[in-house]
Amino acid sequence: MLHVSRIADLRAACDAARAESLRVGLVPTMGFLHAGHRSLMRSAAAATDFVVVTIFVNPLQFGANEDLDPYPRYLAGDLDACAAEGVDCVFTPSPAEMYPRPPITSVHVEGLTAELCGAVRPTHFDGVTTVVAKLFAITGPCRAFFGRKDAQQLAVVTRMADDLNLPVEVVGCPIVREADGVAMSSRNAYLDRPDREAARVLSHALRRAVDAIVAGERDAKRVAHIVCATVGTEPRVELEYAEVRDAHELTPMVALEGSVLIALAARVGSTRLIDNVLVEVDGSKVSADLGVADLNAPGGSPCTAR
């Protein structure tokens, strides 16, 4: 496995791969890799020939009062995880390598970034789209793999690639969940035991919303209310939003039909967590992507409800 920290070295490695007619796949991460990231690497390995994992805690996507400094880092473990997944190249640039001078160029996606997480993190998505545009330009991937846990990020990056005609297919991959349903997140490391237990209410609330849709509920407000009410039963958790949106345009829905995203953000103690579920509603037919269990955990298996 190649491990590079210089942009020029990553570019050269990807150019060399392409020169051998290998398709380059990109998995951009902020490190502290968990089973969710590993599932992205597996999707990349299945669909491309030269898998690049980037590990970069991007300062640009953190707000002034957010957790840039304490964000968990564990490079040795990350490199082991990448090697175990057969990754071809890991890129671990420094902030100075990515931003040798103050970055005055930014990529902005209007509208899609204004609400949901963008409402409380107003500069976050510009930081994401800008660094992803850079990583795309450096790596030149034919496919790039993003987790569906960051559903808004996936919608924003997909739209950026489409609007800017970037020659890359943006692939969304299922949320990976712990055995108790909690979505894998590097930020779960912040949670003490009581908060970690309380966090279960988030996926539980989403599952109750899906149960209601499966049982025939089609009113977006009532579905959102189920999420709010369920989360409200857990005093350690403060809901920031629970929204029912069109999965691609992120526009509010009234009656559920088509690709429906039920998304939430909440504070568990001082830790901000997000989760969501993607529901396909086709008349009376409902299918929900509730995510998959940790593939490495004993008895791990897909948990898609139909």
**134 or 196: whose CB is closer to a second copy?**
134
Q: Residues 240-279: x/- map of binding to a second copy (CB under 8 A)?
A: ----------------------------------------
Rounded to an integer, what is the distance from CA 198 to the centroid of its chain? 22
Q: How far apart are CA 37 and CA 234, in angstroms?
A: 29
Residues that contact a second copy, how many (by CB under 8 A) = 26
Contact 151, 241 (CB under 8 A): no
Residues 136-155 that bind a second copy (CB under 8 A): 137-138, 140
Measured distance CA(233)–CA(159) in Å, rounded: 36
Instruction: Find the shortest distance in angstroms from Cβ 26 to a second copy.
Output: 13
- Beta carbon of residue 207, minimum distance to a second copy (angstroms, whole number): 33
Q: Shortest distance, CB of residue 11 to a second copy, whole angstroms?
A: 7
Of 100-108, 175-183, 208-216, 221-229, which segment contacts a second copy by CB under 8 A? 100-108
Name the nearest CA neighbour of 274 among 112, 150, 101.
Answer: 150
Q: Are strands 176-177 and 169-173 parallel, antiparallel or unpaired?
A: unpaired
Q: Is 225 a catalytic residue?
A: no
Query: Would you state the torsion angle of the CA atoms of residues 251, 292, 28, 109, taken in this order, to the nearest 10 degrees?
Result: 0
Q: Which of 119, 46, 71, 278 is nearest to 183 (CA)?
A: 278
| Of 3, 34, 37, 124, catalytic | 37
Buried-exposed string 181-201: b where 16+ CB fall within 10 A, e elsewhere: bbbbbbbbebbeeebbebbbb
CA dihedral 117, 123, 124, 130 (to 10 degrees): 140
| Segment near a second copy (CB under 8 A); pick from 70-78, 108-116, 169-177, 216-224 | 108-116
Give the residue with the Cβ less far from a second copy, 138 or 277: 138
Per-residue contact track with a second copy, 156 to 175, x per CB under 8 A?
A: ---xx--xxxxx--------
**Among all residues, which ones are annotated catalytic?**
37
Q: Which residues here bind a second copy, judged by CB under 8 A?
A: 7, 11, 103-112, 129-130, 133-134, 137-138, 140, 159-160, 163-167
